[in-house]
Amino acid sequence: MIETPRLRLRPPRPADAPSLVALMMPTVSQWLSNWPVPFTPGMAEARIAASLDAITAGRSLICVVEHQETFVGWIGGGRLADTDRGRFGYWLGEPWHGRGFMREAAPAYVAALCDRLALRRVEAACQPANRGSALVLAACGLRRVGARAEPAPARGRDELVEVWERAWTRDAPG
């Protein structure tokens, strides 16, 4: 578990499936490559089960974001193949946008991800029009390093994304 002044990040539980379904709206999904709408209860249950398997295997760190014990979002990532590099992504339900929650949660999460998986570099991507996400990445110390087309299975096409990254060391993040 990771705690910040206003938030708690914890592994997902099967009981989180209804909240996951309720918060995955078109206004959220439009920014996410792997979260389609409609997002069904079966999809939520499968996502949670796969996430728990990846956590148990030590490949990933995946968390529900809670504010005052209410599910408000999701943040997760893991190691890229057999490297010391990782990648992460995140989202908040629309009712929770604009409160600075992800700018608070993401830096603590990235530190935990890099520490637990012994990563030396971490990356993330966001759509060029998603300025809120770019602010979150900057708050994590990531820098924009370019742009590329990446698959967006949620919409069945490739989409242009900005790629951000940061080198990480255990002793001195940077």
Whether 145 maps to a domain, the answer reads: no
- Per-residue confidence band for 82, with pLDDT thresholds at 50, 70 and 90: confident
- Asked if the structure places residue 7 within a domain, the reply is yes
Mean pLDDT of the chain: 93
For residue 141, tell me if it sits in a domain.
no
User: Would 127 be classed as within a structural domain?
Assistant: no
Token pair for 42: 């079966």
CATH number for the domain harbouring residue 102: 3.40.630.30
Rounded mean pLDDT, 78-93:
92
- Structurally, how many domains does the chain consist of? 1
Q: Is position 111 within any domain?
A: yes
Query: What is the average pLDDT across 161-172?
Result: 82
Q: Please state, in angstroms and as integers, the Cα–Cα distance from residue 50 to each residue in 21, 41, 57, 61, 120, following that order.
A: 16, 14, 11, 12, 25
Q: How far apart are CA 115 and CA 124, in angstroms?
A: 17
Question: What pLDDT does residue 174 have?
Answer: 45
Q: What token pair was written down for 117?
A: 């998986």
pLDDT interval class at 170 (50, 70, 90): low
Give the confidence band of 168 by pLDDT, cuts at 50, 70, 90: confident
Answer yes or no: is 50 within a domain.
Answer: yes
Asked if the structure places residue 156 within a domain, the reply is no
**Does the predicted TM-score (pTM) go above 0.85?**
yes
Residue 63 belongs to domain spanning: 2-119
**Comparing C-alpha atoms, which of 20, 159, 146 is closest to residue 76?**
20
Q: Average pLDDT for residues 144-157, to the nearest whole number?
A: 95
